[in-house]
Chains A and B, each alone.
Chain A
Amino acid sequence: MSLKLGSSFARINAGSSSVKRMFRGASGIWNADAADWIKRVEANGGGVSTSTAGAVTAFCNAIDAAGIRDRFHRLNLFCGNSDTSLNAVRTPLYRGQSLSGTQYGNALDANNNFVPEDYAETGANGGLIGNTTTKYLNTGLTPDALPSVATCHLAFWTRGGSVAGVRRPLGTEATTLAQRFFIDRRPVASGGDLTYIGSSANGNGTDDATPGLFAGSRVSATDLRFYRDGMQSGLTQTASSTMTAHDKPFFVFAGNGNGSPGNYYERRLAAYSIGDGMTAAQILLYYNALNSFMEALSRT
C-alpha cells in the first residue's frame, strides 16, 4: 500500500520527525518497508540522509511493483550514515517476506572486526569492504529457519576486483554436500564463480572481476541457475539435487563452515540478499531495482 503526501495520514502525523522522514521517498510516495527501516536505523543509533531515504523508498517501491517482495527473507543495501558502530549499515532493509510477517535472523548483522573506516555510503567505493583474514557479518539467519528452503536464492552486489582464491561473499554449510548454501567468487582454476544451493553447484566457469550483481537461484530440485547482472550466465543445472537445512547461520563477507568463518571476501559489497527462489524474469526485475539504487547512490 502506498500513500501520497497530503493524505490524511500524512497530515495527522506531520509533527513526528520519524514520520517526516518516511515521506522523503521518491515522488512523495511512502513505502512501509523503507519507513520501517529508517525507524529501525534510528532506534539502533544510526542515521539516514534525505537522499538515501529517497533511494531506499524508490527501491522498495520497485520491488513491490515487480511483485517480488515475498522473495526476500533478508536483504541489506549497506547504506545509511557512517557511525562509530556501523549501526545503519548493519540494519537490514528486509528481514522477512513481509513487514508484518515473521522476521528472521539478527535485528542487525552482527559485526566481527569491521571498523567505521571500512564503510563509505556513496561513490565508486560505496559499500562495506572486507579482508582475507578476519572480517565478517553474522546474519543470524539459519537455513532451517527458512520456511521453504527447497527453493532458494542467494545474491550479492560487489564493487568488483580480482580474487586470488576461493572467496565466499555469502554463505553457510554444515558437513554434507546437501547442506551447502553459498555463492562464491573463484579463480577459474578453482571452478570460477559459482553457487551451491543443495548438493549441486552451478556457475559460469569464469572469474568475473567487474562490479555488479551475482546471484544463484534454485526454483526446483532440477533447476539451479547462476546470474550476472540479471541475466542467466552458464547453463541450467538440471541434475536432481538434494537439500538438507541446518542450523549454521549465513555469514556475509565469509562463509560459515560448520560454525567457523572462512574463505573471507576482501572486496567491497554494496548489497546482499537471501530468500526464496526467483525465476529469470524475477531476477532481472530485482537487478533493475538494485541497479537504480546503486546509481542513486553513485555506486557506479
Chain B
Amino acid sequence: MTLADIDLPIAYEWGCDHALLFTPALAKRLAELHSEFGRPDCIASPVALADGRLMLTADILMAISPGGYLYAMWEAADLSILLPSVEVVPIADAMALLPNEELPPHP
C-alpha cells in the first residue's frame, strides 16, 4: 500500500498506528522542499531504518492540512510522484526495521 491508496485527511489514531517508508532520494527531495517552504523550528525528521529506508509515523500527515506547518511544503510537492513513492505499513512492521538500541550500562 502506498500513500496514493490513502484517503486524506487521515484520522489521528490511524496515523499513530501506521508508518510512512521512503527512500533516501525522496527524503532528500522532501528536505529541499522543507528548506524552501517549511519552518526551521517545526520539521519532519525521518528515522533511518536498518534496510536503508527512512520512516515517519503517519500522523505527521495531520500537519499537511491548511494552516499546518507542512501545508506549504505539501502544496509545493509533485503529488503524482510523491504519493506512489511512499509506502504505508503498520507501525509494528516499521518498528521491526529499527536498528537495535545500545543500552547504557546499569548503575
CA–CA, A135 and B19, complex, Å: 13
Query: In the bound complex, do residue A108 and residue B44 qualify as a contact, i.e. CB atoms below 8 Å apart?
Result: no
Query: In the bound complex, do residue B62 and residue A110 qualify as a contact, i.e. CB atoms below 8 Å apart?
Result: no
Interface string of A245-278 (1 = CB under 8 A from B): 0000000000000000011000000000000000
CA–CA, A113 and B44, complex, Å: 5
Query: In the bound complex, do residue A191 and residue B107 qualify as a contact, i.e. CB atoms below 8 Å apart?
Result: yes
Chain B hits for A196, CB < 8 A: 104, 107
Segment of B24-32, B35-43, B77-85 engaged in the interface with chain A: B35-43
B55 interfacial by beta-carbon distance below 8 Å: yes
Chain A hits for B12, CB < 8 A: 115, 117
Query: In the bound complex, do residue B42 and residue A111 qualify as a contact, i.e. CB atoms below 8 Å apart?
Result: yes
A210 interfacial by beta-carbon distance below 8 Å: no
CB < 8 Å A-B pair total: 83
A236 interfacial by beta-carbon distance below 8 Å: no
CA–CA, A201 and B16, complex, Å: 34
Q: How far is the CB of A105 from chain B (nearest CB, A)?
A: 12
Which of A113, A116, A201 has the most C-beta atoms of chain B within 10 angstroms of its own C-beta?
A113
Name A110's contact: one of B41, B46, B56 (CB within 8 Å).
B41
Query: Which secondary structure characterizes the binding site on chain B?
Result: mixed
Query: Which secondary structure characterizes the binding site on chain A?
Result: loop
B87 interfacial by beta-carbon distance below 8 Å: no
Which of B56, B60, B69 has the most C-beta atoms of chain A within 10 angstroms of its own C-beta?
B69
Query: In the bound complex, do residue B95 and residue A132 qualify as a contact, i.e. CB atoms below 8 Å apart?
Result: yes
| Number of interface residues, chain A, beta carbon within 8 A | 33
Name B42's contact: one of A85, A194, A263 (CB within 8 Å).
A85
Query: In the bound complex, do residue A115 and residue B59 qualify as a contact, i.e. CB atoms below 8 Å apart?
Result: yes
Chain A hits for B94, CB < 8 A: 133
Query: In the bound complex, do residue A113 and residue B41 qualify as a contact, i.e. CB atoms below 8 Å apart?
Result: no
Instruction: Given A86-B42, A90-B41, decide whether A133 and B57 contact each other with a Cβ distance below 8 A.
Output: yes
Chain A hits for B62, CB < 8 A: 115-117
A18 interfacial by beta-carbon distance below 8 Å: no
CA–CA, A194 and B103, complex, Å: 13
4 smallest A-B Cβ distances: which pairs?
Answer: A201-B107, A115-B62, A117-B12, A191-B106
Query: Which B residues are closer than 8 A to A by beta carbons?
Result: 12, 15-16, 19, 39-47, 55-57, 59-60, 62-63, 65, 67-69, 91, 94-95, 98, 101, 103-104, 106-107
**A–B Cβ pairs within 8 angstroms, 21 of them:** A85-B42, A85-B68, A110-B41, A110-B42, A112-B44, A113-B60, A115-B12, A115-B59, A116-B62, A116-B63, A116-B68, A117-B62, A131-B57, A133-B19, A133-B47, A133-B55, A166-B104, A190-B106, A200-B107, A201-B107, A262-B101
